[in-house]
Every structure is written in structure tokens, then in C-alpha cells.
Structure 1
Amino acid sequence: MRTAAARSLVAADLPYRVCMHTVAVLALDHVVAADLATPIEVFGRARLADGRRPYRVLVCAVAPQVAGDAFTLIAPHGLETLPEADTIIVPGCSEQAGPPASEVLDALRAAAGAGTRIASICVGAFTLAAAGLLDGLSATTHWAAAPQLAAMFPRVEVKPDVLYVDNGQILTSAGAAASLDLCLHLIRRDFGSAVAAASARLSVVPLEREGGQAQFIVHAQPAVPRGSLLEPALSWIEDNLAQEVTLAEMALRCGMSGRTFSRRFREQTGTTPLQWVLRARVRRAQFLLETTDHGVERVAAQAGFGSATAFRDRFKRVVGVTPQSYRSSFRTNASTP
């Protein structure tokens, strides 16, 4: 295995000495195709300024034949190849996969103990967590799987609203698209921004994206049982977001005092009436940004925010990006005059 010094080439050294960096991509049964393909393509296509390949990519598996959900592949390398790697990438697996085999977890622990850099893609974080490699660390995964990761592995600090987390030796990334961000980040760490930028152009993506996973999460309200005493208030809120919404008015719709309404509301939704209204306003703003040409001031007014400044601040805190950036990413072809 190469020493840390051999792995950490500084940009100034690149014209004079380049040690090819070996990336082992671990293909487990029911591997997610996109998670597997992205590191193979991104690292395999990377080039230095003089055209040389800085990475050697190996696909490794427990057994030569790997069963995917819609395909079968032949992996040319086994787990015994992992000690050769400078970086190990662990893609996610579908829900059809069972717990990781003990030999996989042992191999990952041994690699980590030897100083090998290990990164997961999407729900591949569950494999790293099962090996104990995320204990005491921050980590991320696909936002939809983040609550499960936190519940199963309480020693892991799960961050559901970022694209990737770099702990130095151990890294994790969010959903499949975030694997591109992670791979480009690793290339920049290894060979500098110029090589990473060229790789980003080949993948037709920006080297850095604004915001995190929060912009891709559907900010749905907590479910309220059908026939709930809160339904009159919730329906009224949705119809009157552009107006002032007070606790007294909401409570009146349900025939309760303000104190009783607040208590019942938290019991049934897990949040406060004010937070519910703010979320509803953000969701209304997202819809308007996606489907209309309205300016920020008009969107703010229609969603019930007191000012464009307050709207921008709340939207950025909840969604993770500015209203304009959100519109640029999610604008539909149809628009409303």
C-alpha cells in the first residue's frame, strides 16, 4: 500500500512525478447501477494536463458474479485486491440486499486500519456504519434514508441536508447525483482544482453546486389523521396563506382556546402552529417559483411573507438555496402570467 505522502500529491509536484492512484469500487449484490457507474466513469475519464491518467479503477466483489436488480455483472477483482487501493468507493445497494457479509465488513475495517481512504455513495453509508467506520463521525446519505441511518446507528451524526461529508479518511455522499460532487471533490484533493474542473466539464456539471440536499427534499407537512379536529384550521390556513394567520383565528376555526389548540396541534403534528404555517408558506413559494414568472416580491406576498427580505431569509434556511437559485434548478416549462 502506498504511503500517505505518495497519495497526497501537491499541485506543484504534478509536472515532475505522478503516482497513479488506485480506486477500488466495491460491487456488492443488488448494487445500485448509477452508484457503481459514476465513480468508474468519473475517475476513469480524469486526465492530467499532459493527458496522462491519474487513476487506475478496479471493480471488486466478494464473488466474480454480482447480481443486480436488473442485471448481472462480472467483477474482475476480489476482496483480496482491496489492500492495493488508495481509495475504496462503496456504492449503495437496493432494498433487496441483505446485511453486508462479514467478510466485506472485515475487509473494510482492515483497509481503514491501514489508512486507506474510504468513501460511500448514497445508502452505501449503511455499509460503512455497519463496519463501525462512521462511529463518532458526521455522515450523510440520501435524505429519504437519513432517519433510518440515524435510528440504526445512533453513534453516527447524520447530516441529511448536505451533498457530502469529508472527515479526511472517511467520506460519505448523498443520493446518486451527489456522487458526482464527491468524486470531483476527491479529484481536487488528489490532483488540484484544474484537473477537477476538467473532469467536471467532461461530466457536464459544475465543479461546485450551490446548496445541499435540502433543495431536493419535498417539504411535506406531517400527516394529520382524517377527521382530525384540526382539519378545519389546516384547510383555512392553506386558503389564507397570503393573509395574516393568527393563533387565535386558527383556534377559533376548531372551536378551541388558543392554549388547547396549541397543545392538540403539537400532539397531532409534532410541531407548532407557527412552524406549520411557515412550512406551508415555503411550499407555496416553491410552487410559485417553479410554475410562474412572478418576481420575488410578488412571490413573497402571495406566500404570506411580510417582506421580500424575510422571504429570502426563511426560504434559504429551509430549502438551502436562494429563491432565484431554486427557480433556476426547478423551473418548469409552463409559466403563469
Structure 2
Amino acid sequence: MQHPVRFRTIRAAAATAGALLLALAGAVSTPAPAHAASGDFTYEVTRNAETYLDVPGTAVTFDAAAGERSFLWSRFFSTEPVDTLSAGDNIGTTFAVRCRNADGTALPAGTEAGVYWAANLVPTIESRLTSALRWVFVAPADGSYTCRLSIVSYSSIIVNGRTVTMRVPAGAELARQTEPVYTDQSRWTLLAGSGTTVARATTATTLGYTVTPTAGNRISLYQDAALSTCAAGSSICSGGSTAYDGTVVETWVEAQPRNADGSLCGGPIAGPVSRWNITNAKHHQTAANTLTLTTAQLGGCTQVRTTLKVRNVSGNPVKIHDGYASGTIAATHGSAITYTV
């Protein structure tokens, strides 16, 4: 089950958590965003992660000036097996939002074109995966663009003529909101070479970015980490032992108010802590994290430095993936929006 950036898996309750996080992403008192929704979409699992399949009905096409920003997020984007699966029939899935020129051609080389959320479906513990995609598209030039939801599912059980059909239930949506409704839209990505492996009983601080709000009274910070447990003999990270079945990980967003000169301004503000049980069978998990602040919480500070905290609670080391999958699709990434309620 080979993912575009070579990893896979999920925890049981992620469907509910992901749906809640994305509901919050769009739950502000602003004009309705542009959006497009799918009907039922069935597709076949492949042995390896191959070409993304665009989910019909989710494309959003728009004109944008160079540098114009669009906050994009998925709603109700899930997948489930049509066929009956047994324990051990783990299905890796990568969900993505991907953008291109409206004529279907790729964005200029090196332009970040989207983000992904990935996990394994682990029967019979869970029956559905629900993704949590949040990202800011930045137009590379004046032009017309199309963004859409895409998916690919893969598994080593696809062998000797076996087939497995998956379904994206009707209602998957890609929503888009632009300035001035969402102001000060930002995005950042953990670039290649910046990832790390977190040892048991230690905490990593990563994905740092400084947000400078100029309008609005709410700031939502999103920090989404692509994580893999380091199983014994893993080809992607070392230090794993057969003494453990995976890793228990906690993640959260931390916001540190700052003055314009970068000096500290009050103490750090921690967001809610999420716990992820990334077993060997689950293998990988995109951990989606959200912290929403009022500008009053900044106490007059003009900036906020946001970071992602990854604590390895128990088990094998856990890898934080960096860089991009093919097509310049970001792995571990963050975004921020400011708005008024």
C-alpha cells in the first residue's frame, strides 16, 4: 500500500473529528462561500498509489489576480468500501484538494498546487474515512483557475485478480472564500529537509509561522501534520521495535503573541489536544489541529507566532513528513484566516 509520499493509516474516531474541524473552518458569520458538491462516486482500489481521481461535481472555477488568495476547505469528503472487508484488509487513501489552470494545464513549475490528507481504513475497527482539508490557494498570475477534490485508494490486498470498490458518498464539497470576507489569509508548508522523527516521551515543536492580523476579531489557525509510526524495519524511519504496536501521539496548536519587533507579548496560548493511536496496521495519520482566538486574546500584541506541537506519548518513534507529494501537493502544512463575527 504505497502512498505518493510513501506512507499510510488512521485512527478510529477521525471521521467525526475531521468533519467537526471542517465544519468549524467554515462556521463564521460571513456570506456563503462558493462551493461545488458531488454525487455518489465509485472507484477501484489499486495495488499502489497511482493517479489521483478527480471527484466529479467538486470543481470550482474562478478568476484571480496575481497574488490573490482563496481559502479552500472540504466538507463531507469521505470514502467507504462498497465490498465487505475483513480484518487485515487495510485500505490506504489519500484525499487532496488540487488546483490547475482553468484550461486543465498545470500551474507553473514549483507552484504549490494543493494539500493532502491521508490515512488507512482499518476494518473492522472503522467503516469510513473522513478527511480534513484546509488550504490557501495563491494565484501565481492573473488568470482563471480550477480547484477540485481528488482521491486515490491503494492496498497490497489487490493481487491475484482481487478487486475492491470504494465510494465517495454524495455531498462531498469544496468550498472557497476570498478576501475581504476572510482577511489576512496565510499558508505555510513544512519544507523538504525540515521534518523530524519524534522519540518516545519527547515533544517536537515545528511548522512555525508568524501571523500579523490587520482586520477582524477572530483568527483561526490550522496546523495539519502528516505522521507515520516507525514500525520495526520501516523503510521510512528508524528506531522502531517489535515491542510496540505503533505510536500514541498527541498534537495541538500553540500561539505565542508577539510585538512587531518579535519580542514576546504575554504567555503562549495552547489549543485543544488531540490524541491519535497510530497502530502498525494504521501506519499513518494526518493529524488536523485548529485553534481559534479572538483578537482581544492577543492583549494588544500585533503578531502571533503559531507552532505545531507533536508529543510522542508512547510506543515507537513517529515521523513528521515534510515537503511535497508529486504534483507539488503539500504534506505537513498550516493556514490562517482572520474574519469578523
Q: Answer 1 or 2: higher relative contact order, Cα 8 Å, separation at least 6.
A: 2
Range class of TM-score, shorter chain: under 0.3
- The structure with more helix, counted as a fraction of residues: 1
Larger radius of gyration: 1
Q: What TM-score results when the alignment is normalised by the length of structure 1?
A: 0.23
TM-score, with normalisation over the residues of structure 2?
Answer: 0.23
More strand by share: 2
